[in-house]
Amino acid sequence: IPYSFSDRDLLDDRSFVAGVWQEKADGSNTFSVEDPSDQKILAYVVDSSLDDYKSAIEVAHEAFGTYKKLTPKARSQLLRKWSQQVLESRDDLAALCTLELGKTFKESLAAVSYAASCLNWFANLAEEGCGGETIPNSNGRGKTVILTIRQPVGVVCAITPWNSPYSGVIKKIAPALAVGCTVVHKPAPETPLCAIALAKTFERAGFSPGVYNMLTTSSERAAEIGDLFSSHPLVRHVTFTGSTGVGKFLAERCGANLKKVTMELGGNAPFLVFADADLDQAVESLLACKFTSAGQVCIYANRILLETSIHDQFVSKLLKAIKDNIRLGSPWAETTTLGPLYSAKGAEKIQRLLKDAVGKGAKLVTSDVYEYGSSYYPPSVLIDVKPDMQITREEIFGPLISISTFDTEDEGIMFANNVKSGLAGYVFTENVSRLFRVSEYLEVGMVGARTGSISAIEMPFGGIKDSGLGREGSRHALEEYTELKAITLAL
Ligand code: ADP
């Protein structure tokens, strides 16, 4: 690869438990990690067992006893040091992200900087802490007063996907650590090297052992680990980002055992463009929320809904913008704006959705075609998409733009809401009443009103319907990892 690591200590193949990199026993199981750009094997990392996870949960529980007693200021300083460590290793962390995920190096650098800024944001919030209220007693005014305090829940177990291996992990771990919880983390099997390197930066920040434990695990073992997290008596909260099917399974198990959950599940974002929109702005926004990270982001636009009268004009502007701006190529090249997908599996899924749509009457209006078996998927635009096509119901998760039309505002909203998920939605119109009205009617947790770029750590991130439970980012994230306690005080 065209990169040489400056800090080889970040490269490892082991799990991090109780502040120690676990020695590999002879004959211990491993699994392989692939570079999606050429599908060569990059490394073999340890496949942690169920017993390893059980010990990690016990370690985290023990660490909780002392970590929760640190002052908010001390926790804040540790998080800030972690942020500095991430920034110090920025280039090496970015290179690992490009290697494992195929994300362009330029985007990977920005992703690492963003992860460091998220840590700083939570460092600030940690210092403010999570306050309570004073509630006057309605009967015995003058005799008692009710106080509420927020306390850390205890051991938090986190399961994360491959598509955001730094900020996606930080958004779960940092708020938990900010309020005084301790964490056991199972990263995605596709991006263990990023998780290992991030844990190395954690180690250098100076937290006490056992506060954060990270165990690499193959996909074959994911289900049994999920089962353990949702049933182990010492685990108080399971935070998961991934597919809706797995999320429902985990939430059901956690429900049976009365564990708290945060579920960030799949999206199917509508992107509504009305005839009175600024079309250039809408096209530019669509490029941002379709081609960054090769479109592999759960809040990105999945269904483009255009008011019929501007369809042709919008499509021709879009095709020109793609031709002018999108360059498919090696993720290491400066000029590349669209790298490979995380795996050929991702590209093959898009191809399946494309074939189904074309078979039912949709038209591909771009000329580059996908070469079967490759992880590289060309920027593509599909028009005449109808509700009976699979592509309207599944997440595309890649650089294929799927376009349908609507005739009235009510019809546009109806099409937008006619799906099971409700993560993000986008609306473009220059009529401010309509902009707000449609934003209100969209059945989603997050709206981009005249913008396609909504990612920000200060925004409450999360979905409704099949897209999940709870919120990440913003100060609401801290509440997720706390319990409310009421104290009635006799005066
Ligand atoms: P994706 O298609 O984005 O990989 P998944 O839901 O399959 O979505 O994976 C997200 C994360 O959940 C990964 O870390 C994966 O290993 C893990 N995972 C997959 N199946 C299970 C399961 N049954 N229980 C717990 N975790 C799981």
Q: What does the pLDDT read at residue 140? A: 65
Distance CA 445, CA 359 (A): 33
Q: Answer whether 266 contacts ligand 1 (Cβ < 6 A).
A: no
- The one catalytic residue in 34, 264, 307, 480 is 264
Give distance in angstroms: CA of 159 to centre of ligand 1. Answer: 7
Torsion of CA 383, 386, 390, 394, to 10 degrees: 80
Q: Which of 6, 3, 25 is nearest to 14 (CA)?
A: 25
Q: Answer whether 448 contacts ligand 1 (Cβ < 6 A).
A: no
Model-level pTM greater than 0.80? yes
- CA–centroid distance for 341 within its chain: 16
Give distance in angstroms: CA of 378 to centre of ligand 1. Answer: 27
Q: What does the pLDDT read at residue 2? A: 87
| Bridge pairing between strands 155-159 and 182-186 | parallel
Give distance in angstroms: CA of 241 to centre of ligand 1. Answer: 8
Q: What does the pLDDT read at residue 27? A: 73
Give average pLDDT by consecutive 10-residue segment, the chain, 491 residues.
94 97 84 95 96 98 98 98 98 98 98 98 94 84 86 98 98 98 98 98 98 98 98 98 98 98 98 98 97 97 98 98 98 97 97 98 96 96 97 98 98 98 98 98 98 96 98 95 95 82
Q: Answer whether 215 contacts ligand 1 (Cβ < 6 A).
A: no
Q: What does the pLDDT read at residue 185? A: 98
Mutational pocket test of ligand 1: of 243, 394, 395, the residue with most ligand atoms within 8 Å of the beta carbon: 243
ipTM: 0.98
Give distance in angstroms: CA of 222 to centre of ligand 1. Answer: 7
Q: Is 430 a catalytic residue?
A: no
Q: Which of 238, 184, 170, 172 is nearest to 212 (CA)?
A: 184
Distance CA 22, CA 89 (A): 22
